[in-house]
């Protein structure tokens, strides 16, 4: 209930409201009474939004594959073939439980080779998927020979029908920032090349999809192409770096908030977990925990109309913060309060 106003003001607005309520709660009884009223209104709005008509879902089931490959094994050349076969086996098992149209989703860099150069392996993926479309995380080399963290769309016969390149790269992990010159090269070869930005993939037989790779899911208002709104979001990630810590759980919570902000379902395939699916209200409709190998077969939920936050982005919380800043600068303590404080 309490996260539903994010559809209007985003997580930044929720944070601002939380701080204001905490501060007001230390004031007079009138302030505290106002806090109670604000919380009731907050909860009431959330309940009202959740009581609205449910969006119509597409006739599509997503098979989210969680391979559970330890970070130390992901780039081990001796294990690459066995990792690939593990994903093929999990894909067969997941698709076998689905009746009707399906799409298979593998996590970030799940394919351990260069997928765009491996036509037989793409065909093997589609065969394992029993002809269903597949969204596969892999690395590719661009025209300059630089690697890109990519999500490939593979369809009938192993044909590549779309590709998305990650554009929000991790500093010092995926690239070395130019704005911080260092005497040594922290990221070999300069790291990954960034993609052009948010993109909606239009693939035959599938509703338009907005891809997010790894921590791109933490950037509110920077997820989708505003001129080409998708019908659902897919987040592929590898959180194996963080082990059984707060990291995968925080990442999951951030992805959930993006679904509420945008009014779009978000489906998440994570290498070691947590894989999950959220509807457009942020309800978790399926999940697969940390450290498990398996699949989730999830009917893709429907999309809501564009939210206020989806239309305005950070302008809404930005205006609210500016108004409060101006109010704080113009605020004057009453004279009698100042005199009383000095006398004490």
Q: Output the pTM of the full model.
A: 0.87
Q: pLDDT tens digits for 287-312?
A: 999 999 999 999 999 999 999 999 98
pLDDT at 43 over 90: no
Cα 298 → chain centroid: 17
Tokens of 38: 């604000």
Q: What is the pLDDT of residues 202-259, one digit of tens each?
A: 999 999 999 999 989 999 889 999 999 999 999 999 988 888 889 899 999 999 999 9
CA distances for 213 relative to 138, 165, 288, angstroms: 11, 8, 19
Percent of the chain, pLDDT > 70? 93
Assigned token pair, 260? 């509420």
| pLDDT for position 297 | 96
Query: Using only C-alpha atoms, what is the Rg of the chain?
Result: 23
Here the tokens at position 267 are 């489906």
User: What is the mean pLDDT of the segment spanning 281-290?
Assistant: 94
| 108 part of the active site | yes
pLDDT at position 38: 79
pLDDT for 58 equals 93
pLDDT in tens, 114-161: 999 999 999 999 999 999 999 999 999 988 888 999 999 999 999 999
Res 276 pLDDT > 60: yes
Residue 118's φ and ψ, nearest 5 degrees, are -115, 75
At 336, the pLDDT band (50, 70, 90 cuts) reads low
Residue 214 DSSP one-character state: G
Which is the catalytic residue, given 214, 216, 261, 262?
A: 214
Contact call for residues 240 and 219 (beta carbons, < 8 A): no
Which residues are registered as beta bridge partners of 165?
A: 150
Task: Report whether 108 contacts 101 (CB < 8 A).
Answer: no
DSSP-assigned beta bridge partners for residue 137: 151
Strand partners, 152: 136, 163
Pick the catalytic residue from 74, 108, 121, 297. 108
Residue in the structure block whose two tokens are 């609210």: 320
In this predicted structure, the answer to whether residue 337 has a pLDDT above a threshold of 60 is no
Mean pLDDT, residues 4-33 taken together: 81
pLDDT digits (tens, 9 = 90+) for 69-112: 998 888 888 899 999 999 999 999 999 999 999 999 999 999 98
Write a three-state SS string for 233-255.
Answer: EEEEECCHHHCCCHHHHHHHHHH
**Which H helix or E strand runs over 138?**
strand 133-141
Is residue 17 very low, low, confident or very high in pLDDT (cuts 50, 70, 90)?
A: confident
DSSP helix/strand/coil, 278: strand
Contacts of 214 (CB under 8 A, 6+ apart): 108, 149, 166, 170, 235, 236, 237, 238
Q: How far, in Å, CA of 30 to CA of 75, rounded?
A: 61
Q: Is 18 helix (H, G, I), strand (E, B) or coil?
A: helix
Computed over every residue of the chain, the mean pLDDT equals: 88
166 given a catalytic annotation: yes
Q: How far is CA 114 from CA 140, 246, 262, in A?
A: 6, 32, 33
Place of tokens 């989210």: 64
Measured CA to CA in angstroms, residue 200 lies from 55, 138, 189, 224, 225 at distances of 20, 18, 30, 7, 6
- Please state which of the ranges 47-51, 62-66, 178-182 shows the lowest mean pLDDT: 178-182
- With a pLDDT cut of 90, the percent of the chain lying above it is 57
């Amino acid at each position: 209930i309490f996260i539903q106003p994010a559809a209007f003001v985003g997580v930044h607005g929720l944070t601002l409201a939380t701080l204001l309520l905490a501060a007001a709660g230390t004031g007079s009884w009138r302030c505290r009474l106002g806090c109670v009223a604000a919380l009731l209104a907050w909860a009431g709005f959330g309940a009202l939004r959740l009581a609205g008509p449910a969006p119509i879902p597409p006739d599509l089931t997503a098979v989210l594959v969680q391979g559970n490959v330890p970070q130390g094994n992901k780039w081990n050349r001796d294990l690459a073939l066995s990792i690939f076969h593990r994903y093929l086996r999990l894909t067969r098992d997941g698709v076998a439980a689905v009746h009707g149209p399906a799409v298979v989703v593998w996590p970030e860099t799940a394919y351990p080779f260069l997928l765009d150069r491996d036509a037989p392996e793409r065909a093997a993926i589609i065969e394992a998927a029993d002809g269903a479309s597949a969204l596969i995380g892999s690395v590719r080399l661009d025209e300059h020979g630089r690697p890109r963290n990519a999500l490939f769309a593979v369809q009938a016969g192993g044909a590549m029908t779309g590709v998305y390149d990650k554009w929000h790269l991790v500093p010092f992990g995926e690239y070395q920032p130019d704005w911080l010159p260092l005497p040594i090269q922290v990221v070999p070869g300069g790291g990954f090349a960034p993609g052009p930005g948010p993109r909606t993939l239009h693939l035959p037989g599938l509703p338009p999809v907005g891809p997010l790779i790894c921590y791109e899911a933490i950037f509110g208002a920077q997820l989708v192409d505003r001129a080409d709104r998708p019908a659902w979001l897919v987040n592929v990630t590898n959180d194996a770096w963080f082990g059984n810590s707060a990291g995968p759980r925080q990442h999951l919570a951030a992805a959930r908030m993006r679904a509420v902000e945008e009014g779009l379902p978000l489906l998440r395939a994570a290498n070691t977990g947590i894989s999950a699916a959220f509807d457009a209200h942020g309800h978790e409709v399926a999940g697969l925990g940390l450290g498990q190998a398996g699949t989730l077969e999830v009917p893709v939920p429907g999309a809501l109309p564009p939210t206020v936050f989806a239309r305005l982005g950070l302008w809404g919380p930005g205006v609210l913060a500016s108004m409060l800043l101006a109010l704080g600068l113009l605020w004057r303590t009453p004279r009698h309060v100042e005199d009383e404080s000095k006398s004490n």
